[in-house]
Structure 1
Amino acid sequence: MSNSSLSQSEDSTARSAVDTAQSEEQRLRNERDTLQRENQRLRSAYHQAQQATHRRAAGGLAIVGALAAAASALFPSVANVLLALGGVGLFGAVLTYYLTPDKVVSADVTQRVYDTKATNEQSLVTELGLTGQTVYIPRSSNRDDAATDSVRLFVPQYSEYSIPAESALDSLFVATEADKARGISLVPSGIHLYREFHTSGRQSSGETGSVAESVDELVDAVLHMFELADTTETTVEAESGRVRVAFSSPTYSRADVLENPIASFLAVGLAQHLRRPVSTTVTATEDTLSVVCQWDIK
């Protein structure tokens, strides 16, 4: 076979390979486009289903309100009560209809984001050889950034630790002259939840209220404001510097990470109330997250 024939055969084979590759690439592009369209369709359907649920709730409230208002004409003796009920129903219907959320972030999405953050933090602790203990330290209220950095999470290097100076908490790596005060300083995952809770007007006990009152308000926020758990069992031992809260069906149930957001929120709130460091111990069973907060009562 001549060199010319070999060259033509190789060219033909190369062109065939290129055509096959291009055909495969086009097929993959078509599949990608199809999957993107299907994903968009499913997202749209999910969004519409969520909106439909809220609209049905609004319709139900409107019907109840209209029936109550109409019944007030038939029962004059309780007309005032029925009119009030009708007004509440109609007003609730309007709010529910127009305040339907445009976007719904599923719990699974937030869980995945949280898992990534928790994994990174745990890797940092392991790499640095830290204890993994979590100590929430309140900071001075006269700081310029007190509103956004009121509590820091201190992770000590040694199990027998001492609280570092406040200025040392400004840095990620707390490298003080005293070995027992070394570790890392982080922004607690519950600090933004606490800030939202603090500005919502739900906090009435302040620093002058009892520990039990403060814990009740924090737990109520977890259940009803943030909806991060279904029910709780609370034990307050203020004289011993100890609080235990068991959350059932928690949204964030992991106890094998550096910081659980529910425990962080509770500890941040207690540290702010007590104005002293609060340490946490978190354990979990199949459907319960147990958080123990402790502080020095001296």
Structure 2
Amino acid sequence: MSAADRDRRNDRAVTLGFVAVGVIAAAAAAAVPANRSVLIALAGTAWLGALLTRLVVRTPGHPALVAESVHAAHASTIDRLAMELDLAGPAVYVPTGTDVRLYVARTDGPLPDDVSDALVTDAGARGLSVAPVGAALLARLDDPRSAESTDERIRRLTEAIVDRFELAGGIDVDRDGECVTVTVTDASIEDLGRRDHPIGSVLAVGLAEHLDRPVRVRVEGDRVICSWDRPVDSNTDSS
């Protein structure tokens, strides 16, 4: 199988995954009236994620206005869900062993043991877990768990953001231990602070996969800041 054929196959699988989640959420909305508004919004989030992924991946030099409009709708849907569920915690990208989920909690506290379900309730904790756009985009890259340093992983992720997906004109990287700050110039999709912005999403998902640890994201102007906890084993090398 050629690389192009493999890419097309991955694209179809990722898009169908988003669509399937949307269909399941829509069906659940019909069956569970009490959570209908939340489940309908979840279905919309999945379908918008599928559309945004197709726009960014399949259209070189994708029309910025179209991609930005789709992302705005995607982010607004997540915002609506967070508001309905009274969730004010930061964006955390959590590896589950099989994929990475974007998790938004009520507060910034300990993470639940399982974030695989869309609506998370764990020992009194409440949160929202959705498939991030970054996971779909990174499905086209090589195995993120390959034996490379964290610095090398960051370099490859930022190169993909600029050269592969054309999401930015340039990126400057500054790493300090368990925190990396990227300064973005000429972002093709504006408002880096919107939830699950493709640039922050790609970086956070790629790091969460590589480190096998949750990655928190915050944005300050043109800077996207990703941080993660130091390994429990202090001798573990995360450089």
Alignment TM class, shorter chain as reference: 0.5 to 0.7
State whether residues 61 and 166 of structure 2, in contact with CA within 8 Å, keep that contact through their aligned partners in structure 1.
Answer: no
**Contact map agreement 1:207 1:274 (CA 8 A) in 2:** no
For 1:226, the equivalent position in structure 2 comes to 165
Q: Is the 8 A contact 1:244 1:291 kept in 2?
A: yes
Q: Give 1:112 shift.
A: 1.0
Alpha-carbon distance in structure 2 between the residues aligned to 1:102 and 1:155:
30
Q: What's 1:276 paired with?
A: 213
Given that residues 60 and 165 in structure 2 are in contact (C-alpha distance below 8 angstroms), is that contact kept between their aligned partners in structure 1?
no
Higher helix share: 1
* Match among 179, 182, 194 for residue 245 of structure 1: 182
Q: Given that residues 192 and 224 in structure 2 are in contact (C-alpha distance below 8 angstroms), is that contact kept between their aligned partners in structure 1?
A: no
Q: CA RMSD in A?
A: 2.2
CA positional deviation for 1:104: 7.6
1:166-211 deviation line (CA, Å, top 9, x unaligned): 3xx22211011243xx211111121111111237xxx6xx453221
The question of whether the paired residues in 1 share the 8 Å contact of 2:64 and 2:189 is answered with: no
Contact 1:138 1:277 in 2 (8 A): yes
Judge conservation of contact 2:169–2:185 (CA < 8 Å) in 1.
Answer: yes
Shift in Å at residue 230 of structure 1? 0.9
Distance apart, 1:277 and its partner CA: 0.6
- In the aligned structure 2, how far is the partner of 1:103 from the partner of 1:250? 15
- Decide which of 108, 113, 128 is 1:165's aligned counterpart: 113
Task: Please say if 1:235 is aligned against 2:235.
Answer: no
- Alignment match, 2:128: 184
Give the equivalent residue in structure 2 for 1:175: 121
TM-score with structure 1 length normalisation? 0.54
The 5-angstrom pairing of residues 1-298 of structure 1 reads: 105-140=62-97, 146=98, 150-159=99-108, 161-166=109-114, 169-179=115-125, 182-198=126-142, 206-238=145-177, 241-284=178-221, 289-298=222-231
Higher relative contact order (CA 8 A, sep 6+): 2
Q: 1:227 to 1:105 in 2, by over 3 A?
A: closer
What is the alpha-carbon distance in structure 1 between the residues aligned to residue 147 and residue 153 of structure 2? 10
Identical positions, percent: 30
Distance of aligned partners of 1:213 and 1:157 in 2 relative to their CA distance in 1, 3 Å threshold: same
Local SS of the residue matching 2:102 = strand
Structure 1, unpaired ranges of 5+: 1-100, 141-145
- Segments of structure 2 that go 5 or more residues without pairing to the other structure are 1-57, 232-239
- Seen in structure 2, the aligned counterparts of structure 1 residues 250 and 104 have a Cα distance that, compared at 3 Å, is closer
Size of the alignment, in residue pairs? 174
Cα distance, 1:253–1:268 mapped onto 2, change above 3 Å: same
Q: Deviations over 1:87-135 (max 9, x none)?
A: xxxxxxxxxxxxxx99985221111111111111111112221114111
* 1:32-85 superposed Cα distances (whole Å, 9 cap, x missing partner): xxxxxxxxxxxxxxxxxxxxxxxxxxxxxxxxxxxxxxxxxxxxxxxxxxxxxx
- Structure 2 residue matching 1:175: 3-state secondary structure: strand
How many angstroms apart in 2 are the aligned matches of 1:184 and 1:258? 13
Contact 2:213 2:228 in 1 (8 A): yes
Q: 1:267 and 1:103 mapped to 2: Cα distance?
A: 23
Instruction: Letter of the 1:158 partner, please give it.
Output: T
Aligned mates of 1:104, 1:209 — CA distance in 2: 30
CA 1:275/1:103 → structure 2, altered by over 3 Å: closer, same or farther? closer
SS at match of 2:79: helix
